[in-house]
Structure 1
């Protein structure tokens, strides 16, 4: 029998570490998804901003088109009734105190109920009852009503904060 040939063992040579560039396909996919998400969020926020600006411009344009304070009150009342239809289909048929209580009704933004405000039924919003029919209305009262009505209009039109 012949003597076995001896095997020569050599050291294991480590290969060089893979470079970080170009990244693996999974990283490209992740980067694409992130860029798409950022673009989508930016587009959505711009759309919300444009919509809010359009709703604010509509409110301001309609109220500013009225030349006298009583006409401004009537314009605000009309805008609120139009917006109320989006919130509740029968809301624009409410009259008097019932209409003011509806305007005061809290709109739950979260799952918890916000405290009910009485700015319409007990505050400057009472001007909506007969302010559009008066000969003269104090411009300061109209300004207070305008801020209140604008806030409620924006919320009901989906442009409130």
Structure 2
């Protein structure tokens, strides 16, 4: 056969597939990746918060039961522990620079009343500067107050997200 006699036309290829609109899989991926990142950040903050509070509870019990430390040393260790927990569970810029009355007011926000500003909690701010070391009763009350503060931290929601 003669190709000129059949009047055949050349093969036409289809148009190239455009990039828009993307397939449904790309839409699902575009939505799920940011949601996964947000979830992982939330989970990380939640786990570190719980770990910090749980570890602090154990350290608090160790400090309380240690008979080799005097009351001034217990007070110092307790103050350091509470500050470390506060920095771990709250934004660092809000807690790291607090001292004196501001620090006690920050601690009061988590518990009922003003036990840090107007009661035995004042030992955290001015205990190391007193002429006499704190008594056993004061230290015991301070430990109870700090345990109460730690429990209130565990109950609070993670407000950083």
Unaligned runs of 5+ in 2: 1-50, 157-161
How far residue 53 of structure 1 moved from its aligned partner, in angstroms, is 6.5
Aligned to 1:96: 100
Q: What is the TM-score with the length of structure 1 in the denominator?
A: 0.53
Aligned to 1:81: 83
Question: Which protein has the bigger helix share?
Answer: 2
- Contact 1:100–1:121, Cα closer than 8 Å, also in 2: yes
CA spacing shift, 1:89–1:127, aligned 2, 3 Å: same
CA spacing shift, 1:53–1:82, aligned 2, 3 Å: closer
Distance in 2 (CA, whole Å) between partners of 1:77 and 1:120 is 12
1:131 aligns with 2:123: no
Aligned length: 103
> Could you say which structure has the larger radius of gyration?
1
How far residue 54 of structure 1 moved from its aligned partner, in angstroms, is 5.0
Indicate the RMSD between aligned Cα atoms, in angstroms: 2.9
Equivalences for residues 1-150 of structure 1 within 5 A: 55-65=56-66, 67-85=69-87, 86-90=89-93, 91-106=95-110, 116-134=112-130, 135-150=132-147
Aligned to 1:112: none
Q: What is the TM-score with the length of structure 2 in the denominator?
A: 0.53
